[in-house]
A and B are shown apart, each in its own frame.
Chain A
Amino acid sequence: MVATGKPQYKIIGTRPRRPDGVDKVTGRAQYGADIKLEGLLYGAVLRSPHAHALIKSIDTSKAEALDGVHAVITNADLVGSGQTVQPATAEALEPGKASPRWAAESILAGPKVLYHGHAVAAVAADDVHIAQDALELIDVEYEILPHVVDVQDAMLDGAPILHPQLRTGVRAAGVDTRSDIETNLASHMRLESGDIEKGFAAADLTIEREFTSSQFHQGYIEPQNATAFWSHDGRINIWTSTQGSFMARDATADVLGVPVAQVKVIPMEIGGGFGGKIPIYLEPMAAVLSKKSSRPVKMWMDREAVFQATGPTASSYSKVKIGVTNDGTITAAECLFAMGAGGYPGSPVGAGVMCALAPYKIDNQVIDGLDVVLNTPKTSAYRAPGAPATEYAVESVMDEIAEQLDMDPIDLRLVNVAEEGVKNSSGTPWPKIGAKDVLEAMKSHPHYLSEIQGEDVGRGIAIGFWFNGGMESSSSARVNKDGSIALILGSVDIGGSRASISMQLAETLGVTYEQIAPQVTDTDSVGYTAVTGGSRTTFAGGWVVYELGQMIKAEMISRASKIWDISGDEITYSDEGTVVGPDDAEGNKRAFSFNELASKLQATGGLIAVSASSSHTTQGAAYGGHIVDLKVDRDTGKTEILRYTAIQDVGTAIHPDYVEGQIQGGIAQGVGMALNEEYYYDSDGHLMNGSFLDYRVPVANDLPMLDVEMVEVPNPGHPFGVRGVGEVPIVPPQPTIRNAIYDAIGVRFYHTPMSPRRVLDELL
């Protein structure tokens, strides 16, 4: 069952209140740090003052002796007896196959610290102040090593080496067969199709440019937290704010070397994540501190630790070469993207590579991706991970091509736009996609048609892509005697998914949204569910409740068949949620409303309880196009956003308010990346701006109202046409703003952010 055309929905497309809303506006919602347990201890973490150093010794005895301290741990405590130390082979470095030893050393440093802020030891004490006092009593002897924080520097011969055992054979200038050489290049990937030499030979114009981008942080307002209790029976309960309770459970069990079934993760309300709350950080520390102290232990990061030690996005180096004929047709593209993974392998370069050219039909292309380790925090996913950097480079070159060909930049894109049946960079034909619909909507949008006036004012456009969807989700549902439905979800709700998933169940069953009571539950109480991220939750969650709905419908028909004593084949379930049979012998209508039949369930075999897990490999490929008007202040270098419009193919907007909200939030983050957010390191590799004051995410008076136009091209791979929404809007802002700044002041930038300092450097 897939969506065809544009169906008329009753619930989908409406804007009901979210089920968790009242708790969140009254302060009653329980986020990770809000938990209270009897006998609770408070944890704190000692972090490395160096970017790269050997740990010669750690002496925790004075900290342990402090009154009020109950436990102190280091890596030696974390890596339990059940933990096998695996050599880091190239195979073990495959994404998702990181060596368990490195996973543990990422939590608490082993023989080396690999970045400023790397956790070295942790303490549990009666209150957080005592725990912090204890940290000052821990003596660590370091041998400082040379460090490298820049992705291009880290690829040079002779660069400081993070992991001497990393001998992948990958070289910056291509793959080298000599696998005995120490390197920071953890892996290389290539996507290739057609014949680029032939393609470039056919081009009338070829432009090649290099770009770099700084590290950006997700900037969620709630710091990472975890509370754990390791019981004497070996059971470990963990309360945490995570994007994936099952992933947190499995990763914690792996690091601790305990069976997965011994760990239960109870997901708390989560205060933002954007990819940054997929990895675990504090969970294993809190668990081991709890085991040592026999008390529950609560830990949360201060903001500086969040910046220093949780995953920012990768810094990047890109080289993009695109050839076109005089009518704008792309004949070939060649790209190289290198991304900094931080202290351990695993940057999002792979996804970035796959997204880079996704908006276009390009028969001849080669894209290389390099994953580079360097002395910065281990990067984690950040909203469309990898895509903003690679698509920024491509969209910037496209703008320069449009200028040189004297073409409207939207027309240039329309000439090359990917459509159904066109092969993507991986060689897979696209299903029905809305890239062209978005471009056409941009071209006719009042914003694009309006005149812009004023000195140092400019307009720019760009488009962006993300895959969306996929992976496993689970839910269960119980129909109560009055027809109300308890819906148990495995997906944590980071921004309204309880609402969007309940709406899809209500639509499936023809019942009201209000009679569904959704609840996010723990890892012992529902089937495996992948992370809330990748813009997959409303997509995959919708698939699962659609399947649950079919199971409930079948059971309702079976009960009616028992009551009426007729075959189920004669009974239908209407879109209104009414179970209808043929008229009886006396000509009376046979029909039950959903609620009427629910009241008869207990007498006909019991209340209905169903569970489903579903793993759909289909995706909700989606495109967004942005238009900005801005003004550059030549005295300060500050860029002011005057007007911003985002047009996006959202598939089907389940809850339009939250769809708009996702897009507006993505724009704001992208504007931050474009104009001022950035990690600053000093010459010793210290992060210099680990606070909200100095990192400075956009605030309310940095932005105008952000206009959103939703284009709905239903996803043929989803029962309600959902595509996923949240990632796409962070992709276009950097090139959109870059192209507009050129229009305003005639300067092309090749680095983001285009901070006031960098703008002034160009103008002065």
Chain B
Amino acid sequence: MIPEPKVVNTIINGDSKQILVSERDSLLEALRDRIGMTGAKEGCNNGNCGACAVIMDGRLVNSCCVMAAEVEGSEIMTVEGLASRDELHPLQTEFLDNAALQCGICTPGFLMSSYALLQENPNPTEEETRFWLAGNLCRCTGYDKIIESVLTVAKG
């Protein structure tokens, strides 16, 4: 009845990882429940809220909608990999200094989506930023301070 566990080889935030997963695990479940990386959050488990956003082989994905078995050989970046050893990423610093979070549960997803946006479009307009981040739900802030923070980082 219980499916055989399976080993998945992947690179997470630059470190090689072997994860023992159930065939039914999503990438989000593999990260959170199998290797204890709880930075990515579960808000909906069906790709609506973006709280579980990570970057997989350079692409922004909702990790709840990726099967763990699919990441064999892939490179994953999570919120835990955003800061360097010595300092926070500018997005993290700006979110902190501009009060772009209240409860903070959506913050890891917004940071990863914003990071992906700036990789693809280093100088987004407000409208482009709002459309890019429309897949990330925040119920606390009304989005103002998040949008401002991303635009501030983009301007350098």
Contacts and interface: CB of A to CB of B under 8 A. Distances in A.
Contact of B42 (A24, A30, A33): A33
A574 B88 CA distance: 38
A68 B5 CA distance: 14
Contact of B144 (A33, A133, A691, A705): A705
Contacts of A128: 29, 33
A30 B147 contact: no
Given A221-B49, A271-B104, A274-B139, A27 B39 contact: yes
Say whether chain B's binding surface is mostly helix, strand, loop, or mixed: loop
Interface stretch (A142-150, A351-359, A620-628, A692-700): A692-700
Contact of A692 (B39, B48, B101): B48
B45 A665 contact: no
Given A25-B88, A495-B102, A223 B43 contact: yes
Interface in A648-678: 655, 657-658, 660-662, 664-669
Contacts, number: 197
Given A25-B95, A133-B1, A660-B99, 13 more contacts: A15-B99, A25-B96, A26-B80, A27-B38, A28-B80, A67-B1, A126-B2, A130-B2, A221-B138, A272-B139, A661-B141, A669-B139, A700-B129
Given A67-B2, A692-B49, A303 B43 contact: yes
Contacts of B146: 700
B7 interface: no
Contacts of A662: 102
A351 B29 CA distance: 42
A55 interface: no
Interface string B118-156: 000000001101110111111111111111100000000
Interface centre among B49, B82, B95, B133 (most CB of A within 10 A): B49
A418 to B, nearest CB: 28
Given A22-B88, A272-B105, A692 B44 contact: yes
Contacts of B127: 701
Interface string A205-229: 0000000000000111111000000
Interface centre among B49, B104, B135 (most CB of A within 10 A): B104
Contacts of B25: 129
Contact of B97 (A17, A67, A692, A705): A17
B143 A30 contact: no
Contacts of B32: 33-34
Interface in B1-49: 1-2, 22, 24-25, 29, 32-33, 36-46, 48-49
Chain A contact patch, size range? 35 or more
A26 B105 contact: no
B103 A222 contact: yes
A677 B74 CA distance: 39
Interface of A: 15, 17-18, 20-22, 24-31, 33-34, 36, 66-68, 126-130, 133, 218-223, 269-274, 300, 302-303, 494-496, 655, 657-658, 660-662, 664-669, 691-693, 697, 699-701, 703, 705-706
Contact of B137 (A34, A221, A494, A703): A221
B63 interface: no
B45 A272 contact: no
A31 B48 contact: no
Given A30-B38, A33-B42, A222-B41, A657 B80 contact: no
Interface residues of B, number: 64
A270 to B, nearest CB: 6
A661 B140 contact: yes
B143 A700 contact: yes
Nearest to A306: B44
B145 A657 contact: yes
B46 A693 contact: yes
Given A26-B88, A272-B139, A664-B141, A700 B133 contact: yes
Interface centre among A21, A22, A28, A130 (most CB of B within 10 A): A21
A701 B83 contact: no
A273 B106 CA distance: 13
Contacts of B22: 127, 129
Contacts of B80: 26-28
B99 A657 contact: yes
A302 B49 CA distance: 13
A665 B146 CA distance: 12
Contacts of A66: 1
B43 A665 contact: no
A272 B140 contact: yes
B99 A496 contact: yes
A30 B43 CA distance: 15
A33 B45 CA distance: 13
Contacts of B37: 27
Contacts of A26: 39, 79-80, 82-83, 88, 92
Contacts of B134: 699-701
Contacts of B142: 661, 664-668, 703, 706
27 contacts: A15-B99, A25-B101, A31-B38, A31-B105, A68-B1, A127-B33, A128-B33, A221-B41, A221-B106, A271-B41, A274-B139, A302-B45, A303-B43, A303-B44, A661-B102, A664-B145, A668-B141, A691-B44, A691-B48, A692-B48, A699-B137, A700-B129, A700-B130, A700-B134, A700-B143, A701-B127, A706-B142
B103 A220 contact: yes
Contacts of B33: 127-128
Interface of B: 1-2, 22, 24-25, 29, 32-33, 36-46, 48-49, 51, 78-80, 82-83, 88, 92, 95-99, 101-108, 111, 126-127, 129-131, 133-148
A653 to B, nearest CB: 12
Contacts of B147: 700, 705
A181 B39 CA distance: 55
Contacts of A222: 41, 43, 103, 105
A36 B32 CA distance: 10
A33 B44 CA distance: 13
Contacts of A658: 99, 102
Contacts of A660: 99, 144-145
Interface centre among B102, B108, B130 (most CB of A within 10 A): B102
A29 B36 contact: no
Contacts of A68: 1-2
A222 B37 CA distance: 17
A223 B143 CA distance: 20
A723 to B, nearest CB: 18
A606 to B, nearest CB: 36
B98 A303 contact: no
Contacts of A701: 127, 130-131, 133-134
B40 A27 contact: yes
Given A68-B2, A129-B24, A706-B144, A31 B41 contact: yes
B31 to A, nearest CB: 10
B51 A221 contact: yes
A547 B146 CA distance: 36
A550 to B, nearest CB: 30
Interface centre among A223, A272, A494 (most CB of B within 10 A): A272
A614 B47 CA distance: 44
A661 B99 contact: yes
Contact of B103 (A67, A270, A300, A700): A270
Contact of B139 (A221, A300, A655): A221
Contacts of A269: 103-105
B46 A691 contact: yes
Contacts of B145: 657, 660-661, 664
Nearest to B106: A221
